[in-house]
Structure formats: structure tokens, C-alpha cells
Amino acid sequence: MPFDEERNLDGLFAAYREATPDPEPSPEFMPGLWQKIEARRSPTVYWRRWANVFVTGALAASVLLSVALFSLSSGPTAGFVDSLVEDEATEIAFVEASQEGPAR
């Protein structure tokens, strides 16, 4: 019984090979195949592709801006209180210099 099934299966495969011959390879095979694939694509595929490009660009821009902001703010900066103290010291020095009179 298994031998008959194998022979039937071999006959089925042989009939399939005869019914569907191998395509002849040519230089236009792949470009033609891609044209058929592109023709079946819907406009949503293009919108999705552009959306992916936009999201990737936005992510890259935000990472670059974050790095730039972090590198600028990591330098030596004075706090609000330090700025007030420095400003007050400058003002006191200016007032003292102006009270001394003209330099001779």
C-alpha cells in the first residue's frame, strides 16, 4: 500500500512540473518582479514609510538637542544666590570707588 501512494505522489509531482514550467531567466526578471510588487502596494505603505522617516528624524533631533543642552549646562554655572552676591559686591565696589573722589 505505501508503494502505491508513493507512485501516486510521484505522478502528481510529475504532472505539476509539466503544468508549471520553470521561467526562463532574463535580465528583466527582477525589475519586472519589483514593478509587479510596487503596483500592488497601497498608498498607506508610502505614508507609513514617510511616518517612520519623520519619527526617526524627530528622535535623532531630540537626542542631539538633549546632548547639546546637557553639555552646555554641565559647565561651571553660578546659582541665583551666587549671582546676587557677585552683583552686590560689584555694586559696593563701585559705590566705594565713586566716594573716594577723583584719582590724583
pLDDT (tens digit, 0 to 9) for every residue of the chain, 104 residues total? 567 888 889 999 999 988 988 877 788 888 888 888 888 888 888 899 999 999 999 999 999 999 988 877 655 555 666 766 666 666 666 566 666 666 55
Integer angstrom CA distances of residue 81 from 23, 89, 92, 93, 99:
82, 12, 16, 18, 27
Cα–Cα dist 45/35, whole Å: 15
**Overall pTM > 0.85:** no
